[in-house]
Amino acid sequence: MKVLVTGAAGFIGSHIVDALRERGDRVIGIDSLDPGVHHGAPDYLRDDVEYCFVDLRHWRPDERFDDVEAVIHLAALGGVARAAREPENVIGANCTGTAKLVEAARNWPSLRSIVLASSFSIYGSGYNYRCEQCGATQNGTRDTERLEAADFEVRCTTCGGDTRIVPITTAAVPSPLEIYGASKYMQELCFRGFEHAPVHIMRFSSVYGTRLRLHDGEATIIAKLAGWIGDGHSPTLFEDGQQIRDWVYVGDVVATALALTRVPAPAQVVNVCSGVPTTLLEACEILADCLGSDARPRVVGGFRPGDMRHCLGDAAPLEALLGRPPVPFADGARLTFGVPNAATRQ
């Protein structure tokens, strides 16, 4: 199979390229080598892959793409903070670039499938919580007065009891809260009405693994925690450190992408997550053990307006697709950070 991978030089894309070649597929990769991410071409690029270093917005497909059979579309400018600073750049890259790909793909006669990388950020605050006392279900809104009194959990609005987060499914209505999330949802919408091949959508929770950038300005929270702890600095945690997050190992993203290239119609939408709740405090302990660091987090209380208390996905459909459970963070962290300098920096 000949596969086009956009974002092929990135953290996730490079792992997918490696796996496709190991599967025996031919690969052509596109990447802009965006200077906000890369400092030149990464040293893990492959000699047996043809790379086109171009921004999708300015890409002109030629005959090399005419026999593409599958597309894995990862190219996007990431980072919530960057999107807030550079809305025109991020929306243009993510949405205009995707539209350019849609226009080209309509003309490829051998195309069998498209796999689009989307994000949990499209869900915004659309998580539900169920009361453990009365069973009522509600959203994750928290009262400012309670937060100021250091009561950080979501409380039942019916009886005031404790609630538990309900793992989010793809049935949740997209309602992004910021520009990056909106741009990822717009990427999905760019494929509405595309009938030339099934378009499968992977919605990622936060991804980690080797090649994850730990120290740049757009690093994810798990990358920042690993960078700080690896350098011997104690991370500072707001609230009480019991916030739940759901991190997904890059190997599971790779396995999902490769599986979907061979899934026929109808198209699937899959949440790519672990489904295993991990608190920030637990994550810091796991990272410290993996990295051999004595740095331990400092819980400082307080809160940041707009922060979600918990994030957790329903991994059952992903498990069915992969034929195995996703990798929990405790295991994935050992694979990623368990060897000194295993997390490479671009």
> Would you state the pLDDT for residue 39?
82
- Output the six-digit token pair for 317: 């459909």
* pLDDT > 90 fraction of the chain, expressed in percent and rounded: 89
* Residue pLDDT, tens place only, 94-110: 999 999 999 999 999 99
Torsion of CA 11, 8, 277, 343, to 10 degrees: -20
- Write down the residue that tokens 């195309």 correspond to: 111
Q: In what side-by-side order are the strands of the sheet with 128-131?
A: 137-139, 128-131, 163-166
**Interval 231-280: pLDDT, tens:** 999 999 999 999 999 999 999 999 999 999 999 999 999 999 999 999 99
pLDDT digits (tens, 9 = 90+) for 6-50: 999 999 999 999 999 999 999 999 999 998 788 889 999 999 999
Number of other CB atoms surrounding residue 205 within 10 Å: 24
Q: Extract the tokens encoding 140.
A: 């994750």
Q: What does the pLDDT average to over 149-159? A: 96
Q: Which pLDDT belongs to residue 216?
A: 76
Taking the C-alpha atoms of residue 197 and residue 220, their distance in angstroms, rounded to an integer, is 33
- The confidence score (pLDDT) of residue 342 equals 41
| Predicted pLDDT at 345 | 34
> For residue range 170-180, what is the model confidence (pLDDT) as tens digits?
999 999 999 99
E strand intervals along 120-175: 128-131, 137-139, 163-166
Considering only CA atoms, which of 270, 255, 252 is closest in space to residue 331?
Answer: 252
Residue with tokens 């790519």: 272
Q: What value does the mean pLDDT of the chain take? A: 94
* pLDDT tier for residue 215 given thresholds of 50, 70 and 90: confident
d(CA 115, CA 73): 6
Q: Please report the pLDDT score of residue 35 as a whole number.
A: 85
